[in-house]
Amino acid sequence: MNVISEKLINLDIVAHSKQEAVNKLGSLLRDSGRLNDFDAYINNVIEREKLATTGIGFGIAIPHGKTDAVNVVSVAIGRLVEPLEWNSLDGEKVQMIFLLAVPEKSKGDEHLRILSELSRKLIHKDFRERLFQAENSSEVISLIGETLNKTLEAVI
């Protein structure tokens, strides 16, 4: 199973809080059979968020949860219709969210590898602009899906 699929992407999220945005993206994970306990996963993500912001800057947040509530390593991607306050490192509001889901018992540190690969791509302004302007899920997959899916293959 790939880390990301078109079913895990929503480019028109309406949310008025971090919690609401995480819930909506978490629903994509749940509906795709990637979670075995939606509430436990969401609580794990929110608790992690309280430790330190996952708003990395550039209008991007990468909230994540590592818990037994996750069946398979996955990334849900969402673009917000209206940017949200996320306490980002650069003080900017967030418009694009990458929600990571990693089983507690997974080998190694897949979430760190995925975070690293995402960060390596997201530091490039032209790449971020293409993501922000993507018109559909397949465009997002063509931009980032191959990178994420290869990252997971490398650690299995």
Domain with residue 53: its CATH number is: 3.40.930.10
Q: What is the pLDDT of residue 58?
A: 94
How many domains, in total, are found in the chain? 1
The residues annotated as belonging to the active site are 64
Sequence-distant (6+) residues with CB within 8 A of 32 are 5, 7, 8, 74
Q: Please give the residue range of the domain that contains residue 89.
A: 6-155
Averages of pLDDT over runs of 10 residues in the chain (156 residues) are 89 96 98 97 95 93 94 94 95 96 78 80 90 93 74 48
Whose tokens are 């971020």? That residue is: 128
Residue 112 lies in a domain: yes
pTM of the predicted model, to two decimals? 0.91
Q: What is the pLDDT of residue 146?
A: 66
Nearest-angstrom CA–CA distance, 123 and 125? 6
Q: What is the pLDDT of residue 113?
A: 78
Residue 48 lies in a domain: yes
Residue 65 lies in a domain: yes
Closest CA to 78 of 102, 56, 61, 103: 61
Residue 1 lies in a domain: no
